[in-house]
Structure 1
């Protein structure tokens, strides 16, 4: 069975250093026979130990080894399963196999009363995903490439069609149902949608000086910005406050600085509020929204001509 000494032994071997059986026995103050039984036990439960014989030999753990077992109290175990339920809403979570492993294997090892409490929580707790779930099966590979600072090759689907692309990913971030990949291409950092990346593979080329995504996100956006003022109806304000972009609404009004290049995108986002919002500033944004509304109205006017 797993005791404190065997757990500590597993953690020591996981350090990637090599230890002889004698060094391990002396470290734990036990006999060589006892430490050998501990090593045999770890191998039987799946810890992939590698033994080298002869002078300079010893024991070490191989890659893809098993990690030390979770040791949680009941409150922590309940919190873990609620967290797993929440993660189920995030499609293609990197290393996502952890969800099914913990939900099945770890659950089966819990005491009966803890299992029953987890089941009861499931009857009274739900997480709802409002954003569209868009598959992005390459997230683990992309994240590994970012950590290794390696170049990726992938086919990218854009409005202009599918293009074969190579770039160095900085990392991943998840927002409103989509995974996004900032990546360095031709000395420019571009933003890709992970669900539009296909046939992704890592290349040999590396870039040791590549910045991390954390560093990239801290950089100031030096694009020219314009002042935007939006006046919502009371109902529109309640709807808008569910969107992180409009969480700072005061007296049904939102104001902020927006990059000039983002105005067309913002205009399309505002369409979903219909008559519940009015653009006060800038005139360019007001014109964009008005033009989109006219296009929408013309589509319905055409339908009326056909049916009349």
Structure 2
């Protein structure tokens, strides 16, 4: 076996073993202990995080961060991955720490000169814009690790009712409008709830709470159902421009019925606890939308109008 192929095989074997002796590796590859020791020194120089353990029962161990064997990418694939990783730089924080910058540098460094020139010409011309939302990258990393490990996390959560301590089992993470959201099973509410990462003041793994296996099988693709909660019907009259503005909102778009003049009506069935949240979305449309039902939502908008009149005189 060629030395380069042997080193790649060794990387894969080390990743699978995590801890081993030089003799075990020599037996696996049919080499002398001396040759194995020399190869391990070379792998270490190449960046494979292997370290020796001294004393009785010693050998070699792999640091927590394993190294993948070389992967071949086409130029187009490398460019696509470069810009996919670059898109994270537009978030105020993300759960991947500084490794995305290192990955970007690797992709860029090994590209041919003409491909680098093409990417340089695209810089500042292709971007994945996201509003800046300050939040803790450490908390995001804790949540990501919990998703991968299927473990429970204890958080201090700042909601409208104040700060409370919760044990949650994260289902996943997703970003929307610059915010990171974490659907998670809440052991206090005994159901899957939606948490905003920027409202978490702290997050730490809690091995004392046993995770639920059915939660591990969930994904962020399925929103928690609120059909079992009290429901309310929201009716909104829309101008032609109001239809145009609201039809891009997935919460309303399926329920809009157009009139011949271009305007329309949206009848949305929602959980009663979300009524004011939806009313605030309609409020943002100004005079292009009018809530006509239910009375609680109409009164809520009226109070907002009075507050605005008092503010501006």
* Per-residue CA distance 1:75-117 (angstroms, 9 max, x = gap): 0111011112222233432223222111234423333222212
Q: Report the TM-score, using the length of structure 2 for normalisation.
A: 0.78
| Mapped partners of 1:116, 1:86: distance in 2 | 19
| Mapped partners of 2:25, 2:311: distance in 1 | 83
| Mapped partners of 1:25, 1:2: distance in 2 | 12
Identify the residue that residue 195 of structure 1 maps to in structure 2.
198
Q: In the alignment, which of 230, 238, 242 is matched to residue 244 of structure 2?
A: 238
| Mapped partners of 1:265, 1:142: distance in 2 | 26
Partner of 2:90, secondary structure, is: coil
* Aligned pairs for 1:106-255 within 5 A: 106-129=107-130, 131=131, 133-137=133-137, 138-163=139-164, 165-174=165-174, 175-181=176-182, 182-186=184-188, 188-189=190-191, 190-212=193-215, 215=218, 218=222, 220-221=225-226, 222-248=228-254, 249-251=256-258, 252-255=264-267
Identify the residue that residue 284 of structure 2 maps to in structure 1.
272
Q: How far did 1:51 drift?
A: 5.2
| Mapped partners of 1:298, 1:197: distance in 2 | 33
Identify the residue that residue 261 of structure 2 maps to in structure 1.
none
| Mapped partners of 1:70, 1:271: distance in 2 | 51
| Mapped partners of 1:299, 1:52: distance in 2 | 69
* Per-residue CA distance 1:273-300 (angstroms, 9 max, x = gap): 12212335xx32xx23432343343345
Identify the residue that residue 29 of structure 2 maps to in structure 1.
25
| Mapped partners of 1:5, 1:250: distance in 2 | 66
Partner of 2:129, secondary structure, is: coil
| Equivalent pair of 1:231/1:254 in contact (CA under 8 Å) | yes
| Mapped partners of 2:249, 2:132: distance in 1 | 14
Partner of 1:205, secondary structure, is: coil
For structure 1, the 5+ residue unaligned runs are none
Q: In the alignment, which of 291, 306, 310 is matched to residue 298 of structure 1?
A: 306
| Equivalent pair of 1:143/1:172 in contact (CA under 8 Å) | yes
* Per-residue CA distance 1:156-197 (angstroms, 9 max, x = gap): 22333333x130322343233222332422352343322111
| Equivalent pair of 1:91/1:134 in contact (CA under 8 Å) | yes
Partner of 1:244, secondary structure, is: coil
Q: How far did 1:134 drift?
A: 3.7
For structure 2, the 5+ residue unaligned runs are 259-263
Q: Which moved more, 1:152-161 or 1:236-245?
A: 152-161
| Equivalent pair of 2:275/2:297 in contact (CA under 8 Å) | no
Partner of 2:208, secondary structure, is: strand
| Equivalent pair of 1:155/1:197 in contact (CA under 8 Å) | yes
Count, aligned residues: 296
Distance 1:99 1:250, change over 3 A: farther
| Equivalent pair of 2:234/2:270 in contact (CA under 8 Å) | yes
| Mapped partners of 1:299, 1:208: distance in 2 | 46
Q: How far did 1:198 drift?
A: 1.4
